[in-house]
């Protein structure tokens, strides 16, 4: 499966082949600058969210501002907003991401996702319908 890559590629595999244009099944945000996070207007990401396409954000690729409480609070607020929009945050392997196809495969084999798994919205719907 292909994912449109925004920013730098995460150092770990998220299970996608990355593309910069063309057809894709998901969007992976590998990194953002301070300005990109604070003034989020990445059209490809917004269009994907509006179309119901999975958007993953590699959380270690986000900027931090430990030396400035105000900026740190603003960055945290933007992270919460992205989560509210449906962006799925991942740390690249500590928690297993379950896509719709993986949910179908789990159901077909009579299994359920493991503890701590992060489900895409469609995967959650598939598992709830059959569960």
Q: Express each pLDDT in 61-78 by its tens digit.
A: 999 999 999 999 999 999
Average pLDDT of the residues in 2-10: 94
The answer on 114 and 71 residing in a single domain is no
Its pTM stands at 0.71
Domain that holds residue 83: 2-94
The answer on 117 and 73 residing in a single domain is no
- Residue 48 is encoded by which pair of tokens? 């994907």
The answer on 76 and 17 residing in a single domain is yes
The answer on 51 and 27 residing in a single domain is yes
pLDDT range class, residue 131, cuts 50, 70, 90: low
| Residue 84 to residue 13: CA distance in whole angstroms | 25
The answer on 75 and 103 residing in a single domain is no
State the number of CA atoms in the 13 A half-sphere of 130 facing the CB.
16
The answer on 50 and 31 residing in a single domain is yes
**Residue 15: its pLDDT value, please?**
81
Q: In the chain, how many domains are there?
A: 2
Q: Express each pLDDT in 78-128 by its tens digit.
A: 999 999 999 998 887 656 778 888 889 888 888 887 766 778 888 888 888
The answer on 6 and 65 residing in a single domain is yes
**Residue 93: its pLDDT value, please?**
66
Residue with tokens 């269009």: 47
- Residue 131 is encoded by which pair of tokens? 């569960």
The answer on 100 and 82 residing in a single domain is no
**Residue 122: its pLDDT value, please?**
87
The answer on 22 and 61 residing in a single domain is yes
């Amino acid at each position: 499966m292909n994912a449109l890559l925004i920013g730098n590629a995460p150092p770990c595999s998220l299970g996608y082949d990355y593309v910069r244009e063309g057809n894709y099944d998901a969007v992976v945000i590998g990194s953002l600058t301070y300005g990109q996070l604070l003034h989020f207007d990445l059209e490809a990401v917004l269009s994907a969210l509006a179309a119901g396409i999975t958007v993953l954000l590699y959380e270690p690729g986000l900027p931090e501002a430990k030396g400035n409480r105000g900026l740190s609070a603003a960055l945290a607020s933007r992270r919460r907003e992205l989560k509210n929009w449906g962006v799925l945050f991942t740390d690249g392997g500590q928690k297993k991401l379950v896509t719709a196809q993986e949910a179908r495969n789990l159901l077909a084999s009579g299994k359920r996702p493991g503890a701590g798994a992060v489900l895409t919205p469609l995967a959650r719907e598939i598992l709830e319908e059959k569960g």
